[in-house]
Structure 1
Amino acid sequence: MRRALFAFALMPMFMISLAFAGDAEIKAAQSAIDGQLKAFIANDGAAAYGFAAPNVKQIFPTVDTFMNMVTNGYAPVRKPQSYSFGKVEQTGPGSIVQQVLIVGPDGKDYEAVYTLQQQPDGSFKITGCSLRASTSVST
C-alpha cells in the first residue's frame, strides 16, 4: 500500500519533468528553424546548410545545391518578410513537427511545416519542409 501511494505521489513530478523535457525539445527545434531562417535572410548559405539533417545533406551534398533548391523551390522560406511559429507536435522521442506561418517576399501568406529530428549530439536538425500558400493564417 505504501509503495503504491509513494508511486502515485511521484507521478505528478514525473509528468512535470516530461513536460519540461518536451518544452526544451520544442524550444531547441524552434531555435534551429529560427537560425536557418535568419541565415537565409542574411544570405549565409553555409550557416543555413548547417541546420540541415544528414538526410537532406545526402540529397543536396553541397551548400550551393542546397541553396539553389531553396531559392528555386522555397522563395517564401528563402526571403520571408516575417514569420512566426504556429502549431507544434512531438511525434515521438526527439521528433518534432513545427508549423511556421510566413509572409513571403510577395506579401502573401504561406504555411511551412518543418520536420526535425534530434541528433546524437542532442541538437535538432531539419529533416524536411513542406510549403503551401495559405488563404488564412491562423495558429
Structure 2
Amino acid sequence: MLVAIMAIGTNAQEAERPWEATVTGQILAFRSGDASAALGFAGSTFQRTFQDAERFAAAINSMGYGPIIQSRSHSFAAFRQTAPDSVVQGVNLVGPDGSLYEAIYQLVNEAELGWRVHGVVLRKSAGLST
C-alpha cells in the first residue's frame, strides 16, 4: 500500500503545469542557441518589439540574463496564480559557473498563443551547485 501511495505522489509531483512547458521551452531554446524559438515563447509585445530573433537574444544577454541563456539546469519553485490567465512562477537555475540563481517569470495565457513569457526578474542566490 505504501508503495502505491508513493507512486501516486511521485506522479503528482512530475505533473507539469501548462506554463512550465513555456518556461522550459524558452530556456532550452536559449541554451541551444535557437533565438527564433526563444522569441517564440515570449509574449506578443516582445515579439512585436524584437522582430529579429538574434537582436532579441543579444538584448536579453546584454540586460544581464546570461545565466539563464547559459544555464546548466533549472527546476521549478513555487508559483502564484495572479489571475485566471496570469501566473508568477519561480525557477531555480544553475549558471554556467555553478552559481545558483532564482528567476521569477511572469507568464500570461495569450489568446491563440497560449502561455507566453511577459517578464523575468533574475537574482543570484547564495551558494554553488554540487
TM-score (norm 1): 0.75
Matching residue of 2:86 = 95
Query: Residues of 2 paired with 1:105 and 1:70: CA distance?
Result: 16
Instruction: Indicate whether 1:33 and 2:29 are aligned.
Output: no
Matching residue of 1:112 = 103
Q: Which amino acid aligns with 1:125?
A: R
Structure 2 gaps of 5+ residues are 1-14
- Runs ≥4 residues deviating over 3 A: none
What's the offset of the Cα at 1:61? 3.3
Would the aligned equivalents of 1:102 and 1:109 in 2 still touch at CA under 8 Å? yes
Q: Give 1 or 2: higher strand fraction.
A: 2
Indicate which of 60, 67, 80 corresponds to 1:70: 60
Q: Give 1 or 2: higher helix fraction.
A: 1
Q: 1:1-139, aligned counterparts within 5 Å?
A: 27-72=17-62, 73-121=64-112, 123-135=114-126
Q: Secondary structure of the residue that 1:61 maps to in structure 2?
A: coil
Structure 1 gaps of 5+ residues are 1-23
What's the offset of the Cα at 1:122? 5.8
Number of corresponding residues: 113
Would the aligned equivalents of 1:82 and 1:104 in 2 still touch at CA under 8 Å? yes
What's the offset of the Cα at 1:136? 5.7
Which one has a bigger Cα radius of gyration?
1
The CA RMSD over aligned residues, in Å, is 1.9
Aligned identity (percent) is 35
Compared with structure 1, are the counterparts of its residues 89 and 64 closer, same or farther at alpha carbon in structure 2 (3 Å cutoff)? same
